Amino acid sequence: MMNDGTDPLELFWRFAQPAVPSVEEERTALARLQEAIDTETALPTNRRQRWVRVVPALAALGLVVALVAALLVARPGPAVAALAEIARAARQAEPLDVPDGSFIYRQSEALNLVVRPGSDLGLDRPFVAYLLPTRQETWRQPATRFYRAATTIGTPRFFDDQVATAYQANNGSALDRVGETIIEQFVDAIDPVLETDWPIEPTALRQEMESQLAEGADGRLLEVQLFDLAADILRDNVDSHLRAAVLEVLADLPIDVLDRYGDGAVTIAITYQTHLTTRDTLTITSDGILLSESTVWLDSNPGLETPAVTAITKITYKPPRIVSQLPTS
Amino acid sequence: MTDERSDAEVIAASWVEPEIFGELFRRHYRAVYAYAVRTVGPEDGSDVAAEVFVRAFGARRRFDTNYSGARPWLLGIAAHLVSNHYRKQGRQARAIDRLRKHAEMATGFETEIVDRLAAQMAGDTLRKALANLRRQEWEVVSLFALSGLSYREISQALGISEGTVKSRLNRGRTNLRNLLRGFGELVGDDSDE
């Protein structure tokens, strides 16, 4: 295909395919932008009304907070303390041994927001949205870079009856492959998150994570991207020392503790603004294993008719375990 | 009527009148679309291009208005979206998305190769090789080769110096050449028949 002297970039220019959007693609893309614009335009009024109500209360609260803050100064915040505790436990956890020829097996259940053009369901709306549950099993063999995922699609849940009726009438379940189990399998597959030799010292780890991200380049704050990348690392890595370092990186981000459970697990969250106020959460066990994660729109989305506090993604994992073989069916 | 304001002026105006941001879409959608389709293929490229403008709208207050043109900024968002593994179908699919970008399905690969025309095969092979570069090299090489941005524009798109753009491009070229040598045998076998 190429000689040693060839500039590989010339090949891109030579083989570049024409890429012109269809009228439908352009219309759909513009409608998505318009929906974001409409959403933002609708927000300020509501926010102003909220602020009018809360400002006097905040002023009084401010005095109390200032007093309490003076008392709490120099103590670590609850998020830092909770994650430091879990990081300590993770460092002491028994490493998960993966014998040759065996697989890391994991089960998860997810609920994801699906957005479709209204015309897919015969509706005169730019978009329709609903939640689609899935159940997934994965088998991974690090030594051979083998990965198999079996994803079973469940029955959707709707925000309004009109969409539910249209879904039935237009055979929406065929579009979503409801009831099917989809198997995807990769061999010798490179997963950059798993292939990276992440440092297990928190400062060096954060530097390496930052070097893989570009601040603001995907429209979100660096802290949010770091939170996301931390979740990527936690999700599939079995190295308990790395998990501990990831938790310490997370503790340095502007996160809140949403919940603490009797067994030592904790739910942390980072809240940020895209076209909607959005919150990402992670629930982590007492020894640093990712138990669940979610992305929640805290504002309602008038364009999609989703209510306030809608989880657009929620996944719950069972702890990983080692299995010696793949299922036969 | 043509809006003669610079992109920076349009973005600044959209801070108070969000609707004006649509002008940016009219100016640059096609260029962003072409880049997205060339990097991830027609199926996902259309989605990526649409998402770029939604993200850009949300991030418009962070646009550096010292730059008059917004195309590099938009293409930078596109590059980051693609390299950050576009995840429309939710986080459960992330691992699969990553693998899809870096590997062939274990089944169906040979059939796929045989069925494609030579030019399409070459395009796919190039994309595959590109996807195997390190993220930082991938961003620079893809913006240079597939969108035609200059060094200066890439430095604006990614927020790095022009010197860094040049060094990443050089490293990317070398690594790409090595990767294509490996892929080349596979493509050559089929196309020679």
What is the predicted pLDDT for the residue at A183? 87
Q: Which residues of B touch A12 (CB under 8 A)?
A: 38, 126, 130, 145-146
Phi, psi of A302 (to 5 degrees): -60, -35
Q: Which of A12, A175, A290 to mutate to test binding with chain B, by most B CBs within 10 Å of its CB? A: A12
Query: Residue B183 has what pLDDT?
Result: 52
Tell me the chain B residues in contact with residue A211 when contact means C-beta distances shorter than 8 Å: 136
Digits of tens for pLDDT over chain A (329 positions)? Answer: 444 556 777 766 665 666 788 888 898 899 989 988 888 776 544 443 343 343 344 444 444 444 344 434 444 567 777 888 888 877 777 777 788 889 999 999 999 888 777 888 988 877 788 899 999 999 988 888 888 889 999 999 999 899 999 999 999 999 888 999 988 887 766 677 777 889 999 999 999 888 877 544 555 678 888 998 899 898 877 788 899 999 999 999 999 998 888 888 899 999 987 767 889 999 999 888 899 999 898 988 777 778 889 888 899 999 889 999 988 76
d(C-alpha A242, C-alpha A233), whole Å: 9
Name which of B50, B103, B141 is nearest A32 (Cβ-Cβ).
B50
Query: Using alpha carbons only, what angle is made at residue B182 by residues B181 and B188, rounded to the nearest 5 degrees?
Result: 75
B51, B99, B169: best to mutate for the A interface, most A CBs within 10 A: B99
Nearest of A318, A328, A323, A320 to residue A103 by alpha carbon: A323
ipTM strictly over 0.95?
Answer: no
Q: How far apart are CA B103 and CA A144, in angstroms?
A: 13
One-letter amino acid of A221: L
Question: Chain B, 67-106: which have a CB under 8 Å from a chain A CB?
Answer: 76-77, 79-81, 84, 89-92, 94-96, 98-100, 102-106
Residue indicated by tokens 């995922």: A149
Judge whether B149 and B174 are in contact, CB under 8 Å: no
Give pLDDT, residue A15: 58
State the pLDDT at residue A197: 86
| Residues of B in Cβ contact (< 8 Å) with A32 | 50-51, 53-54
What pLDDT digit, counting tens, does each position of B59-104 carry?
888 888 888 889 999 998 888 777 654 333 345 455 555 555 444 3
Q: Give the pLDDT score at A14.
A: 61
Measured from the Cβ of residue B27, the count of other Cβ atoms closer than 10 Å reads 16
For chain B (193 residues), the mean pLDDT of every run of 10, in chain order, is: 82 91 94 86 82 90 85 88 52 52 38 36 66 78 85 86 88 80 43 32
Task: Name the DSSP class of A196.
Answer: S
Residue type, B123: G
Q: How many CB pairs under 8 A join A and B?
A: 202
Owner of token pair 């000689």 = A3
